[in-house]
């Protein structure tokens, strides 16, 4: 698990996902309706080898261009 910063790991994760979407060219992502608690819960679950919650969260935030 990459957790390089004392603060800002969540922001870094969102920026990384946004960049993946930009590189893909098909989707944008809108995290507006995702709470900090939801993102943390999904990230923790993903770090423990269960990506389902994070996949669903990201999928719900994707906006087709």
Does 43 fall in a domain? yes
Q: How far apart are CA 21 and CA 16, in angstroms?
A: 9
Does 54 fall in a domain? yes
Can you give the pLDDT at residue 1?
Answer: 60
Beta bridge partners, 64, equal 27
Does 44 fall in a domain? yes
CA 21, chain centre distance (Å): 11
Residues 21-65: tens digit of each pLDDT: 999 999 999 999 999 999 999 988 988 889 999 999 999 999 998
Task: Give the count of domains, the chain.
Answer: 1
Does 1 fall in a domain? no
Range of the domain at 19: 9-64
Can you give the pLDDT at residue 30?
Answer: 96
Does 31 fall in a domain? yes
């Amino acid at each position: 698990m990459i957790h390089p910063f004392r603060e800002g790991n969540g922001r870094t994760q969102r920026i990384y996902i946004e960049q993946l979407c930009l590189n893909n060219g098909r989707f944008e992502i809108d995290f507006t309706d995702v709470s900090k608690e939801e993102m943390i819960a999904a990230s923790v679950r993903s770090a423990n080898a269960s990506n389902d919650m994070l996949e669903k969260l990201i999928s719900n935030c994707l906006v087709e261009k």
